[in-house]
Structures are given as structure tokens and as C-alpha cells.
Amino acid sequence: MKDAEKSKLEQELKKAAPVINRLSDGPSVLPERVRSALNSVLDKKFPLAAQPASEPAELAAVRKTVVEQEKAEPSWLEVWRWWLGLATATAAVAMIVALNRPGPHLPPVIQVAMLDSVGTTRGTAANPLTTLQQQWRDAKSHEFDDDAKLKQWQADWPAGSKQTVVKILYNRDTGELRISVRTNGTLTREKVIAVKEERELPKLILEAEAFIRSKGP
């Protein structure tokens, strides 16, 4: 090789050195088609006359292992898609669980009613329903003078409610204070307190409140 050709070849190699180094650093990030085309151009531009026609079996085995490992390893895009899918599935499961879990600290829904078929003929000025309303100020209250309407109210429970629903009935005709507790659509607890004298009603109301707050039968 003449000195001029040798000098020119050295200059060309210096220009191509970054590309060659990039190709030799770890697994290739280029697509197979682009890498093959680039190798072909480099082989034509810089032919290695001294390269043997065949390589040793040990080197060929190492080269084959590296190529197969490179093809088997997933790309960063595939790994990113896998993690994104896992995160989406986890979020969906967490949302379903949260939507189907009843609120842990939701206050009970309280409804109050009184049955008094006699009404004003009793001759008493005080209305016991007012005493019930003072204890449960946010409760919906009803006053009945007909037993059929009362039974309809007793059977009417909010549909699909995850909150505890409590119905408090003061039956003035029978002298009973009935507390019914319904949780998740099922009647779970019920208690009847005898009201012998209406002047004891405030104290019995406190007993009813304690029953509502308790978790026992």
C-alpha cells in the first residue's frame, strides 16, 4: 500500500471510529435492517483483507450466544408497556374494591314515627313526637293515626343503601318504643322498650340511643 493511500485510509478510519465504537458498546439499539445495511457499507468502504474466511468455533459460539440473547431481551418499549398495563390493572382493582366497600364512618340514617289513634282526646298538651325530634334533630319524622299507614312506613326501607338505617317508632296506643336497625339491606337488630309512663320517655330515649350505638344484638 502506498503512503498516500495509507494516509487516506487512516483519515477515513478516524472519521468512522465513533460509529464503530458505538456499534461495539453493548447491545445494539438499531433495528436489524439498519444495522445490516450499515455493516455492509462499512465492509465495502473498509475491506479487511487479512480477516480469515472462517472464525474459530469458540468465537462463533460466543457470537451466536450474544445474538440470540440480544433477540430474546425485550426492548425498553415492551417493558414500558408491560409496566403500564400492570399499573392500569392495579388501579382498576383498587377502584372496584373502594366502590364496593361500605363507608366505615358513615352515620346511620334515622327515621322517627309515632302512632296515636286517639289524638287530642287524650287531654295532654305535650306531644311525645316533639321529644323524639329533640333527640334526633336530623331524622325524618312521621305521625300516624292509622295502623295501615304505619305498617307501610315500617316496611319501607331505602333500597341499596350501604348506610345503617334505623327506624324508631313510639306506639302511643300500646306504650312501646320500638327500635329497628337495618344494615346492608338486612334487619340485624331490634329492641322494644316498654313505656309505662310518658314522663319517663326522655330517659327511655337515651336507652334507645345507647342501643343504636352498640354493636351487640
Structure confidence by residue, pLDDT tens digits, 64-98? 665 565 555 556 556 666 667 777 767 666 666 55
- Is the distance from CB of 128 to CB of 172 less than 8 angstroms? yes
Identity of residue 26: G
CATH number of this structure's domain 109-213, picked from the four choices 3.40.50, 3.30.930, 1.10.3120, 2.40.50: 3.40.50
pTM: 0.50
Measured CA to CA, the distance from residue 26 to residue 24 in angstroms comes to: 6
**Per-residue pLDDT at 157 exceeds 60:** yes
Least confident of 1-10, 83-92, 153-162, 183-192: 1-10
Measured CA to CA, the distance from residue 70 to residue 27 in angstroms comes to: 6
Distance of CA 76 to the CA centre of its chain: 29
3-state secondary structure of 15: helix
161-179 confidence digits (pLDDT tens): 778 899 999 999 999 999 9
Measured CA to CA, the distance from residue 171 to residue 204 in angstroms comes to: 13
Predicted pLDDT at 49: 47
**Ranges of each domain in the chain:** 1-51, 109-213
Closest CA to 115 of 96, 99, 97, 129: 129
**Per-residue pLDDT at 50 exceeds 80:** no
Q: How confident is the model at residue 16 (pLDDT cuts 50, 70, 90)?
A: low
Measured CA to CA, the distance from residue 208 to residue 202 in angstroms comes to: 10
Predicted pLDDT at 118: 81
